[in-house]
Structure 1
C-alpha cells in the first residue's frame, strides 16, 4: 500500500525530496531513453498521486496551487516524470466532476493505494484535437464495446487504468475507465519525439473492448455549467513548462560559473563576472520568475473558483489566469533553454552534457496546444469582454 499524504505541506516536502532524487539521473535517462518505471513506482508509493483525493474519502485534497508546485518541482528534476501524472490528475477531476458515489468510492481507494491513471484521449486523422471518432457501442449482453486507436497516450504504458475519451450512443463525450490489462487493450511504446523522450506517449489500440456501465462517466456534463476543468488541465501543463524553464536556468547558470570562458574584450577573469552575461542572465531569470509568479496566481484563482463553483465571474478569471500562466511558461521554457547556450559557449553544444534536453523538452511539450490561441483569448477578453470558450483546453 502507498503512503497517504495528509496535508499540502507534506505534499510539497515529499515532492522536494523526490525531485532531488529524480534529478540525479535525469540527463542519462533522456540520453539513453531509460523509461522511469522505478521512479514512477516510487512516486506512487510516496502518496503524491493521491493528493487530490477529497478529504471525505481519506485524501489530502490539496489546493491547485500546491498541486502546481508539486508538478513544477518534479518537472524541474525530470520533465518527463513531471508530465506523466498530468493526465492522471486530469482524470481524477473527470471523476470528481461527474462520477457516481460508487465510482468515487472505488477509484479514490485505488488512487490512495498508489494506482496510476494513464490516458487515451487524442486521435490522429480527425479534423481537430477536440473531435473524436472512437465510440461506445451498446453490448447486447450489457455495458458497451469500444474499438479505436488513440495517440500521444502519455502515461498509458505505466498505468494501472487507461481512461478513454469516446462518444456515447447519444454522440456526447464520455470517459471510459479501462484496466490496462483488459482484453483488447494494447499499449504500444512507439513514441519517438525529439523531447519528453521517456513519457512513452505512444499508441493505445482498442479492439472490441468490453466496458461495464459502471466504468463510464458522462464527461459532457462538465461543460453544461460554469467550470474550471479545462483551466485545471492547462494549469498542470503550465507547471511542467515552468519546471523546464527553471531547470534550464539553473543548469545553465552552473555551467556559466564552472566551464564558460569570458569574452576576451570583457576584461574579467570569469564568464559569470562579464557584464553582458550578467545582463542577459538577468533577463532570463526575469522570464522564469514571472512564469512562476503567474503559475502561483493561477493556482490561487483556480482555488477561488472551486470554492464558489456557480460563480461564472470567478470561473472566467481562473481561465484567464491559467491562460496567462501557460503562455508565459511556454515563452520562458523555450527561450531560456535556448539562450543559455550563447552564454556558455561551444562547450554547451557537446552531446556529453546533454544540455539540449531542456530545449528539446520545452519545444516538444509546448506543442501540446498553441500559445497563439492563449494570447488570442487574453486579448479578446481584455479588449472586447469575450469570455474564453468552455472547451476543455483553456
Structure 2
C-alpha cells in the first residue's frame, strides 16, 4: 500500500452543519453548468475533483478513524442538494458511500484504517457490480480465484458509475468454487486501485439521461489481487444491518433532488410564460389551472422530502441498535421514500413543461434533461417490487429481503 499524497489531502469537515453548507454551495456551482455538460456530454472531471477536495467524501467515516460519522439524515440531504444541482454528479459518489459502509460491517481493523484514510484524503471509490448476459442480475460471472497467498480476478462489468473518475474500483466477484449451504455463490468485494494492471475502463455509457456519470464498462483480465484488498460480501446479508437501506435512501435522495430542481425551474418558467387566453388573466402565475399544477407539484415534492428525512432518521435509529425488526423498519421506510421520490421526480419533471408551455420544449433550453435524468435514474431498481415489500410488511409483517443489489 502506498501512503496518501499530502498534496491531495482534502478539506476536513468537522460538523454536519458545515457539510450541509458545503453541499448547498456546491449544488449552486454545479447547477450553473449542468445544462451545457448534459447537452455536450462534457464529463465533470473538474467538478468531481472539487467534490473530492470539499471533504464531503469523508462524511461517513467513523469517529474512531478520524471522521465525523455523519448521520444518514445529513448524508441523504447532502445527496439531495447535489442532485438538485446536477443529478449526474450526485450519482457518481453513491457507490463510494455504499462500499465505505460495507467496510464498517465487514472490513478488518487494518482495512478500515487504510481505506477510511483514503476517503478522508479525498480519494473516491466507484463500483463494478452489474453484468450482462446472466439469467438474473444477482449472478456474477466475474470470478476471484486463489493464487497462492493472493487471488486472480477475471471478468467484465457494466454500468460502472463513476469508475472513470475514481481512485478505487470496488468489484463484486464470485469466489471460485465457494458456495453457501443453499447453493448460492459466495461473493467478495474487491478494492482495486484505478491503475491496477489488467483493469481497464471504457467510457461507453450512452444513456439518454445522467449522461455524464461515465457509467461505462470495466474489464478485468488476469488481475492480481492482494488478500488485503478482499472484503467478504455474502456474509454481510446474513445478519441485520442498515447497509441496503442506506444505499436505497441515497437513491431516493437523488430522485427527490431532481424533483426539487424541476419545481424550482417551473417557478422560473411561470414568471416568463404567457397566460392562456381563456384564463382571462394578465400573467401566467394567475392562471388557476397553472396554480393547480404548481400546488400539486409542491405537495409531491414536499412529501418526498419529508419521507426522505423520516426514512433517514429510521436508518439512524436502526444503525444504533440493528435488530431484525429495526433494520426491517428502516428498509421499509427507505423503500417508501424511494417510491415517493421516484414518483415525485417523474411528475415534477413532466409538470415543468405544462407550466413552461411551448418555449420550454426548445432544444436550446435543454429542459428535457430533468425528465431524462429522472427517467434514467428511476430505472435503477424497480419501485414496483418496493411496493410489494411495503404491502407485505403492512398486511402480514413480512420482513423484506436482504441482498446486495443496490
**TM bracket (short chain):** over 0.9
Q: What residue is the counterpart of 1:329 in the other structure?
A: 341
1:91 matches 2:99: yes
Q: What residue is the counterpart of 1:157 in the other structure?
A: 164
Q: What residue is the counterpart of 1:63 in the other structure?
A: 71
1:225 matches 2:251: no
SS at match of 1:302: helix
1:46 matches 2:54: yes
Structure 1, unaligned stretches of length 5 or more? none
1:280 matches 2:287: no
Task: Provide Cα deviations, 1:195-233, integer angstroms capped at 9, x if missing partner.
Answer: 000000010000000010010000112111112211111
User: Aligned partners of 1:55, 1:167: CA distance in 2, in Å?
Assistant: 32
Which range moved further: 335-344 or 155-164? Answer: 335-344
SS at match of 2:93: helix
Q: What residue is the counterpart of 1:135 in the other structure?
A: 143
Map residues 288-303 of structure 1 onto 2, 5 A cutoff.
Answer: 288-303=301-316
1:196 matches 2:210: yes
Task: Provide Cα deviations, 1:73-127, integer angstroms capped at 9, x if missing partner.
Answer: 0000000001001011011011111000110111111111100001100001112
Q: What residue is the counterpart of 2:197 in the other structure?
A: 183
User: Aligned partners of 1:108, 1:229: CA distance in 2, in Å?
Assistant: 17
User: Aligned partners of 1:231, 1:21: CA distance in 2, in Å?
Assistant: 29
1:76 matches 2:84: yes
Q: What residue is the counterpart of 1:318 in the other structure?
A: 330
Structure 2, unaligned stretches of length 5 or more? 1-8, 179-184
SS at match of 2:92: helix
User: Aligned partners of 1:116, 1:302: CA distance in 2, in Å?
Assistant: 24
Q: What residue is the counterpart of 1:242 in the other structure?
A: 256
Question: Displaced runs of 4+ in structure 1, greater than 4 A?
Answer: none
Q: What residue is the counterpart of 1:370 in the other structure?
A: 382
User: Aligned partners of 2:301, 2:233: CA distance in 1, in Å?
Assistant: 35
Once the 2 structures are TM-superposed, how far is the Cα of residue 343 of structure 1 from its aligned partner?
A: 1.9
Map residues 342-353 of structure 1 onto 2, 5 A cutoff.
Answer: 342-353=354-365
Q: What residue is the counterpart of 1:147 in the other structure?
A: 154
Once the 2 structures are TM-superposed, how far is the Cα of residue 392 of structure 1 from its aligned partner?
A: 3.1
User: Aligned partners of 1:126, 1:175: CA distance in 2, in Å?
Assistant: 19
Task: Provide Cα deviations, 1:3-46, integer angstroms capped at 9, x if missing partner.
Answer: 11111111101101111111111111111111010011111111
User: Aligned partners of 2:90, 2:285: CA distance in 1, in Å?
Assistant: 30
Once the 2 structures are TM-superposed, how far is the Cα of residue 315 of structure 1 from its aligned partner?
A: 0.7
User: Aligned partners of 2:198, 2:285: CA distance in 1, in Å?
Assistant: 57
RMSD of the TM alignment (CA)? 0.9
- After TM superposition, the score normalised by the length of structure 2 is 0.95
Q: What residue is the counterpart of 1:172 in the other structure?
A: 186
User: Aligned partners of 1:217, 1:103: CA distance in 2, in Å?
Assistant: 9
Which range moved further: 332-341 or 189-198? Answer: 332-341
Once the 2 structures are TM-superposed, how far is the Cα of residue 393 of structure 1 from its aligned partner?
A: 4.5
Task: Provide Cα deviations, 1:334-380, integer angstroms capped at 9, x if missing partner.
Answer: 11101221222110100011111000000000000111001111111
- After TM superposition, the score normalised by the length of structure 1 is 0.98
User: Aligned partners of 1:211, 1:19: CA distance in 2, in Å?
Assistant: 37
* Native 8 Å contact 1:231 1:392 kept in 2: no
* Native 8 Å contact 2:269 2:355 kept in 1: no
* Native 8 Å contact 1:234 1:393 kept in 2: no
Task: Provide Cα deviations, 1:298-318, integer angstroms capped at 9, x if missing partner.
Answer: 100000000102x21111110
